[in-house]
Amino acid sequence: MPLRDHFRPPVTNFASWEELHGAWPSTIAYRLNTLLPPEYRSGVKIHMGIAVEIDIAAFELVNASDLGTGRSADDGLAWEAASPTLLLDTDELTPPEYEVRVYDQRYTRRLVAVIEIVSPRNKDRAVARDAFVSKCHAFLQQAVCVVIVDPVTERSVNLYAELAVRIGANPPATVDKSLYAVSCRSRGFQGRHREEAWEHTLQIGIPLPTLSLWLNESHYVPLELERTYEETCKGLRIA
């Protein structure tokens, strides 16, 4: 089955993009754990931004006078802070993250690979784009294989192209594409430092590619985007 557009009708008439982004990383992790050598394992990291955490914090903050502590005003509890100066009013300070991480268990969970599923919030603001690119750049500097999968059709920014600029590379082949998948890695080569990438353009109506997920300089496992994507859509009843 081909890639669907999860940001426009008809799919949005019965399923949100969050359903795919929330479930696909787990499907990928499950599949990778059947392919990885015994000393490696994959897991999921999903960060929904701080909006939900704000609600929890507000629930936990209770006025001290309601707690029945019996303390007097001399304890300093009667003092009230002045109103703050508003610096920023935004939905969230950090965009959501939808990641699969692969660890080498022989070295106390040493991170060796990361799969990033791009969300709309990663692309909608300059600060969010910069945060995403900075994170991927930092992973590459630590010799972590970075895979970026961007199925977001409602925004045309190419985060991989911005990453290429950040590391000082030439414009990638997919620089003009808004949908793409790429596997990147850093390695030493003949006494020099190399950044290597395997790029694929994604298209609505076309099956997704299989990428190489590098565990070290010489070993990789297949990252079966099409298989895991279809399993996720089937589980969510997205036709």
Transcribe the chain into DSSP letters: -PBP-TTSTTGGGT--HHHHHHHHHHHHHHHHHHHS-TTEEEEEEEE--SHHHHHHHHHH---GGGTT----GGGTTT--PPPPP-----S-SS--EEEEEEEEGGGSSEEEEEEEE--HHHHSSHHHHHHHHHHHHHHHHTT-EEEEEE---S----HHHHHHHHTTPPPPTTTT-SSEEEEEEEEEETTEEEEEEEEEE--BTSPPPEEEEESSSS-EEEEEHHHHHHHHHHHTT--
Name the band, by pLDDT with cuts 50, 70 and 90, for residue 99: very high
- What per-residue confidence (pLDDT) applies to 193? 76
Mean pLDDT confidence for 57-81: 51
* Angstrom distances, CA of residue 212 to CA of 12, 52, 55, 113: 31, 35, 40, 11
pLDDT of residue 73: 52
In this prediction, what percent of the chain has a pLDDT beyond 70?
82
pLDDT at 60 over 80: no
Average confidence (pLDDT) over 70-99: 65
Residue 146 has pLDDT above 50, yes or no: yes
Query: What is the pLDDT of the chain when averaged over all its residues?
Result: 85
Instruction: Give the confidence band of 166 by pLDDT, cuts at 50, 70, 90.
Output: very high
| pLDDT top residue among 34 and 97 | 34
Taking a C-beta distance cutoff of 8 angstroms, is the pair 132, 99 a contact? no
Q: Which residues pair with 47 in a beta bridge?
A: 97
What pLDDT shows up at residue 97?
85
Q: Residue 79 has what pLDDT?
A: 74
Our measurement of the distance from residue 41's CA atom to the centroid of its chain's CA atoms, rounded to an integer in Å, reads: 18
Q: How confident is the model at residue 49 (pLDDT cuts 50, 70, 90)?
A: low
Comparing C-alpha atoms, which of 191, 136, 133, 190 is closest to residue 157? Answer: 133
CA–CA distance, 187 with 141 (Å, rounded to integer): 10
In this predicted structure, the answer to whether residue 57 has a pLDDT above a threshold of 50 is no
- Cβ atoms 24, 116 nearer than 8 A: no
Of 89 and 192, the structure prediction assigns the larger pLDDT to 192
- pLDDT, tens only, 206-221: 999 999 999 998 999 9
pLDDT reported for residue 187: 81
pLDDT class of 141 with cuts at 50, 70, 90: very high
Q: What is the mean pLDDT of residues 150-156?
A: 94
Residue 89 pLDDT level (bands cut at 50, 70, 90)? low
Query: For 105-127, how does the pLDDT look when each residue is reduced to its tens digit (9 = 90+)?
Result: 987 889 999 999 999 999 989 99
What are the tokens at 208? 């997704």
